[in-house]
Amino acid sequence: MKNTFLFLALFIISGCAMAQELRVNTYGGYIFKDKVDSYYSSSSYFNGQIQDGFRWGAGLEYHIPNRGAIEIQYLRQDTSAPTTYLDTGFQGGPRFTDFDMAINWIMLNGTRYFPVSEVVEPFAGVGIGMGIFNVSNPDTRNSSSATKFSYNIRGGANFWLSTNVAFRAQASLFSATQAIGGGLYFGTGGLGAGLSSYSSLFQFGFEGGLVFRIPGS
């Protein structure tokens, strides 16, 4: 999946080099908490919550006249995930750990704009790509990571402050299917320890940022 996505990204970048209009979108905003849990059995389960926090990033957007836009986007959030878990490989009953977590999104987005004036430019869009999850256990200093298929939906508006600069406001929902797993993340890191079930991640947030239209593009 990584190789396929990188090929598509390079193809879009090469197309952007010849585009009539290029924009650089910047992002920063508040992401809400999301509960993740899975009960594989009475002796194998985890129950946790991805904490809220700040997410930031940027995107390069190629506009197709009268059709919409294609964007390559990168976003990152550093957060934590307090989690209670139990597995048949553990001794002594349920355990609790506040895991350190970094979430990276690399997305290929399609966006449709609906300009209502020279100032206000509403939009809606969807995207697919990769969610890259890095988790570390502060108690044992073990860490793990994985890459999962992801998608997003979003909507909002650009408010043009000048010919080449706009303020962007949007709401978005990001999801990584079967992204959070006991065997992958929520365990001690010891051999043979971990669950065999997964929980999908859904992150809703409000974001703002600046949009820069590249002059002469």
- As a whole number of angstroms, the distance between CA 110 and CA 21 comes to 15
Specify whether the CB–CB gap between 133 and 91 falls below 8 A. no
The tokens describing 187, both together, are: 């365990």
Alpha-carbon dihedral sign for residues 190, 194, 200, 203: negative
- Which pLDDT score is estimated for 92? 63
Residue with tokens 């985890």: 46
Residue 5 scores a pLDDT above 80:
no
How many Cβ atoms sit within 10 Å of the Cβ of residue 194? 22
pTM passes above 0.85: no
Residue type for 53, please? G
Specify whether the CB–CB gap between 192 and 44 falls below 8 A. no
- As a whole number of angstroms, the distance between CA 206 and CA 31 comes to 7
- Which pLDDT score is estimated for 184? 45
- Which pLDDT score is estimated for 191? 34
Give the chain's domains with CATH numbers: 2-213 (2.40.160.20)
Average pLDDT, the chain: 82
Residue 193 scores a pLDDT above 50:
no
